[in-house]
Amino acid sequence: MIRDQDPTSQFQALEILHRVVLRGGINEAICMHAVYYSIWRKFGVLPERFNWHVNMPDGNFYPLRPEFVEATYFLFQATKNPFYLHVDRDIIENLNYYTKVECGYATVHDLNDKTLEDRMESFFLSETCKYLYLLFDEDNYLNKQGANHYIFTTEARPKIWLRDSFLL
């Protein structure tokens, strides 16, 4: 496996939300998301790590992480651009094509041959699927009024937000 020692030479899937949504302005978020989406389209899923300099995965597996879907959801909420609905549709189609198994969904063990592991992390159901659902449920309270009253925890649980305090 080729590795570049420059820490800015790769991304890790866990950094996506920070890089896309939380770090900069909306224009930077849109551009960074487009880069991640092009990587998703190239492999059908998102590698756990990707090296920018050699333009190939440095972590050749996909454990069904939610961060790319989460970033897509927040960009749609911020822009209302239907492009992000298209992105999520692609994500759902690829998840069904590459990772769906008889009893759920499975981690992609190898991006090259799309072999699967007999493993589905709990965050797939609690976060990945929740953000996919919310993106398409336009009438959901969290999408209509919730932005003014709720925030999401790192586990995608909505929390009531009142000034400087949180209620469970």
Rounded alpha-carbon distances, angstroms, from residue 88 to 13, 102, 112, 119: 17, 22, 22, 23
Non-local CB neighbours of 98 within 8 Å, separated by 6+ positions: 44, 45, 108, 114
Contact 92, 98 (CB under 8 A): no
* Residue 88 burial by Cβ neighbours in a 10 Å radius (0-12, 13-18, 19+): buried
- At residue 66, φ and ψ (nearest 5 deg) are -90, -10
Q: Is 154 annotated as a binding residue?
A: yes
Active site residue 28: no
Q: Which of 28, 48, 67, 93 is catalytic?
A: 48
Active site residues: 48
Binding residues for Ca(2+): 154
Binding residues: 154
